[in-house]
Structure 1
Amino acid sequence: MTVSRLLVVLFAALLLAGPPASAQRRSMPEEARVYILWPYDGMAIRGGFWVRMGLSEGGIAPANVEKALTGHHHLLVDVDLPAMDKPIPNDRNHLHFGLGQTEARLELPPGRHTLQLLLGDADHVPHDPPLYSKRITITVLP
């Protein structure tokens, strides 16, 4: 097989293979941190409340916006961290803030709840290494 024929075969194989099954995970600066500004760990809150989310040493960008060293917040409510090599689920326990929001009003039923932030990239996949906050516990009063 000639070199030119081999190159044509390899190029055709790449075209037929399609995109990779999982994209390269994006990075953030080593010193970047994500955190919950409010509420504080251990707080008792009556009714609906605002969650205020923070990120240091990195930038916030909406979902589907490809910009280096950025991401957007995902708030995990009453769940453990998800798989770090797949998109973050989108359901009542995994709240996406894909417009770049840094605060949101929550209405949770009375009782104890855990809250934790996880930063996702443009495709909602955690960075490498992942950026997540300390998990806090709050009590919502009736």
Structure 2
Amino acid sequence: MKSFMSRAALAGLLLGASMLASAATPAPKGAEVFIVSPEDGATVGQEFKVKFGVKNIALAPAGDVTKNTGHHHLLIDVDKLPAAGAPIPTDANHMHFGKAQTEATIKLAPGKHTLQLILGDSGHMPFDPTIVSEKITVNVK
């Protein structure tokens, strides 16, 4: 009986810890993220600058747990937003700016591409609710 109770208590602690680890950070009220430039529909060269903007939230490097802060992730040609409760992926279509950068020079192949920003918390998790920009389209020459 004592062994069962110990195991049950341990299982409860582990379950609680895992639930806390995957809990999304609450988004500050009115927090917004947006692409300052280029404008939607712009024609750009293969290498161009993307400027990021925020409202009602501060930027901080990844790992900084200061309340009401986050950092940018640029989604390139992504149709579906990253899943809630999981870190934003890192790959060619999900660029991380974990040093609280406000702009980046990116290089894309010629053609039509979509760009969208999503803010991540200190652990690269989307906020709840998700803080995401409007999706824009650029035409790369």
TM interval, shorter chain, is: 0.7 to 0.9
Mapping of residues 1-142 of structure 1, within 5 Å: 9=6, 12-14=10-12, 19-20=17-18, 22-80=21-79, 81-141=81-141
> RMSD between aligned alpha carbons?
2.0
For the residue of structure 2 that corresponds to 1:25, the secondary structure is coil
1:121 alignment partner AA: D
2:60 alignment partner AA: A
Distance 1:84 1:18 in 2: 18
Distance 1:86 1:113 in 2: 25
Distance 1:57 1:115 in 2: 22
Distance 1:133 1:16 in 2: 36
Cα separation, partners in 2 of 1:27 and 1:15, compared to 1, 3 Å:
closer
Distance 1:12 1:126 in 2: 29
Are the equivalent residues in 1 in contact too, given 2:74–2:96 (CA < 8 A)? Answer: yes
Instruction: Compare CA radii of gyration and give the structure with the larger one.
Output: 1
Count of matched residue pairs: 136
Runs (5+) with no aligned partner, structure 2? none
Are the equivalent residues in 2 in contact too, given 1:51–1:104 (CA < 8 A)? Answer: yes
Are the equivalent residues in 2 in contact too, given 1:28–1:70 (CA < 8 A)? Answer: no
Identity level (%): 46
Q: Following TM superposition, by how much is the alpha carbon of 1:11 offset from its aligned partner in structure 2, in angstroms?
A: 5.5
TM-score, normalised to structure 2, is 0.87
For the residue of structure 1 that corresponds to 2:71, the secondary structure is strand
Distance 1:16 1:37 in 2: 43
Distance 1:12 1:112 in 2: 53
Runs (5+) with no aligned partner, structure 1? none
For the residue of structure 2 that corresponds to 1:19, the secondary structure is helix
